[in-house]
Amino acid sequence: VACQEGKSQHENKDKAFRLLKTRIYDQIIEAQLEKEGAERKALVGRGERSEKIRTYNYPQNRVTDHRIGLTLQRLDVIMEGRLELVLDPLLNEFQKRQLQGEV
């Protein structure tokens, strides 16, 4: 960065350092925003039909969570409020992936 607007070298030097500091700060913020955007984009799906989360099959009394490959033949019990049958394995898998650094 060069600055030759003032009459004294000290003023120019101070102004140049402020300008440099601002540019570096802007680059850091921009890099952070790009990183956060990429992370957010990786977490959010595309919303396509093929991107299923969970399937409820009433005729077969089956619930399948496609994110972790969990299939339970207890849909009636789950619909009565026993959600921990689905949520506990899901939380365990999430914690496992967090420890592996995937999330």
Beta bridge partners of 44: none
Digit-coded pLDDT (tens) for 55-75:
999 999 999 999 899 999 999
Handedness of CA 78, 84, 87, 89 (dihedral sign): negative
- Structural domains of the chain, count: 2
- Average pLDDT, whole number, for the chain? 87
Q: Which amino acid is at 12?
A: N
Is 49 a member of any domain?
no
Q: 59 and 32 in one domain? A: no
Position 1 scores a pLDDT of: 73
Q: 70 and 32 in one domain? A: no
> Range of 74's domain?
54-100
Query: Which residue has 């399948």 as its token pair?
Result: 64
